[in-house]
Amino acid sequence: MTDQEKRYEAVRSRDARFDGEFFFAVETTGIYCRPSCPAVTPKRRNVRFFATAAAAQGSGFRACRRCRPDAVPGSADWNARADVVGRAMRLIGDGVVDREGVTGLAVRLGYSARQIQRQLTAELGAGPVALARAQRAHTARVLLQTTGLPVTEIAFAAGFASVRQFNDTVRAVYASTPTELRHAGRTTGRATPPAATPSGGIPLRLAHRGPYHFAAVFDLLHRQAVAGVEEVSGPAGRRTYRRTLRLPYGTGIAAVSERAGGGRTGRPARAPAAHPGGWLDARLHLTDPRDLTTAVQRLRRLFDLDADPYAVDERLGADPRLAPLVTARPGLRAPGAADPEEYAMRALVGRAEAERLVRAYGKVLDAPRGSLTHLFPEPAVLAEAEHEGPLGPLAAALADGAVRLDAGADRDDAEEALLALPGLDVGTVADIRARALGDPDVGPPGVDTPDSWRPWRTYAAHHLRTAEER
């Protein structure tokens, strides 16, 4: 079968495993959908396939109101790939184009703006501006349907340069005016509150594909939580993780809840059709709503929500050593980091010392919430305050840009720069590469790993570590 035929079979079977991996559009209706859309399957001759929602929108198709293709998980390729396209997609997801333009994106990647445009368009069918526009449209829909913010405020919060641009984009993508889109949220059960208040925050559903072993992720976050910055509360199976966020325009507090029945049973993995995917319930309290897109993407990286558990479990489950671990914990994730620089410094000094640093140098929130009182100290602050300690060289390298850990960083370059610093051993650098840089293929330190584990060695390491902790 050709790739096109395989994709059409996925559409015919409404296979949620491919949601976010590609989109299909129907020429007779002018609508594009996710593969699992429950609508009647269109005839093959009327179907076109696209790598991104932005490419479908650029070809004149509007989003399906039934399956909401803009709400799917992102492609796992963007986290796995280390090339310029993968790095660009991670930076666009972090909101760099909205804040710094295509020129800023190109500078971060070390290419010209023309090269970035050409490579993204050739592979994805859309350039950086179109990809950022599609992301802004999704952010606008979320704000319209989950908050009571005035439409004008939503336009700028979503990253649009003008209200006219906002209105035109919403009409083009959703075939609705902003007011009609907001009303649709009420009629489908997503009630809009009368006003967006500081106490209410922005409720979100963070989608994931396939099974998700919640217990292991929340266990890890609970063990590593740094007081003042993070907390995990609630009974097992219904826990909530909360943390403070330093964001481009302000600060935030995020709360993400564990889903009941998320994977402590150790039962064998079921067939893929039994795991169409789901979501994590989240709530964001932001001092500036323009930070919504960035905050969401950082939570997605922290909880590894764009992973492809089918590919991971299939590859690792074929290994005799890992097979029983994969069977016991289908959908085990490899958590990333909400703040890569913060995680790198914490990985070096440990939890107890990190808590001391927060008390001594962390910025106190203007509006603390319960035990969440501080932001983790910035590298520049710690480079000056702790310059004679073991943290000094790393903090200074992060502060002056000698080590880059942002979403578009070159992982090999970052690892080389980290290993050149005093006080960082191979194990710590591997941990930083796996968590702060989100590399899915970091082997367990000191373990001779077979090539058959690639490109998912980070997940293999989590399986081995989780099994040892039980």
Which CATH entry fits the domain spanning 77-146+149-187: 3.20.20.140, 1.10.10.60, 3.40.50.720, 1.10.10.10?
1.10.10.60
Catalytic residues: 33, 37, 64, 67
Per-residue confidence (pLDDT) for residue 274, from 0 to 100 = 44
Per-residue confidence (pLDDT) for residue 149, from 0 to 100 = 87
Domain 202-336+443-469 matching CATH 3.40.47.10: the answer reads no
Domain 3-71 falls in which CATH fold?
DNA Methylphosphotriester Repair Domain (3.40.10)
pLDDT, tens only, 259-304:
865 444 333 333 334 456 899 999 999 999 999 999 999 999 999 9
Rounded mean pLDDT of 250-258? 97
| DSSP class of 22 | B
Per-residue confidence (pLDDT) for residue 445, from 0 to 100 = 80
CB atoms within 10 A of CB 452: 12
Per-residue confidence (pLDDT) for residue 40, from 0 to 100 = 96
pTM, full prediction? 0.92
At residue 193, does pLDDT exceed 90?
no
Per-residue confidence (pLDDT) for residue 187, from 0 to 100 = 58
| DSSP class of 65 | T
CB atoms within 10 A of CB 313: 25
Tell how strand 278-286 and strand 202-208 pair up: antiparallel
Per-residue confidence (pLDDT) for residue 255, from 0 to 100 = 98
Listed residue (33, 42, 141, 131) closest to 85, CA to CA: 131
Per-residue confidence (pLDDT) for residue 199, from 0 to 100 = 59
pLDDT, the chain, mean: 92
Rounded mean pLDDT of 407-424? 96
Where does 239-390 have alpha helices with state H? 292-302, 309-317, 323-328, 340-349, 351-361, 379-385
Q: In the chain, which segments carry CATH 3.40.10.10?
A: 3-71
Q: In the chain, which segments carry CATH 3.30.310.20?
A: 202-336+443-469
Per-residue confidence (pLDDT) for residue 277, from 0 to 100 = 80
Look up residue 28 and give its amino acid.
Answer: T
Per-residue confidence (pLDDT) for residue 50, from 0 to 100 = 97
Compute the distance between CA of residue 214 and CA of residue 262 in angstroms, rounded to an integer.
5
CATH number of 340-435: 1.10.340.30
Give the residues across from 26 on adjacent strands. 31, 47
Compute the distance between CA of residue 358 and CA of residue 371 in angstroms, rounded to an integer.
13
Q: In the chain, which segments carry CATH 1.10.10.60?
A: 77-146+149-187
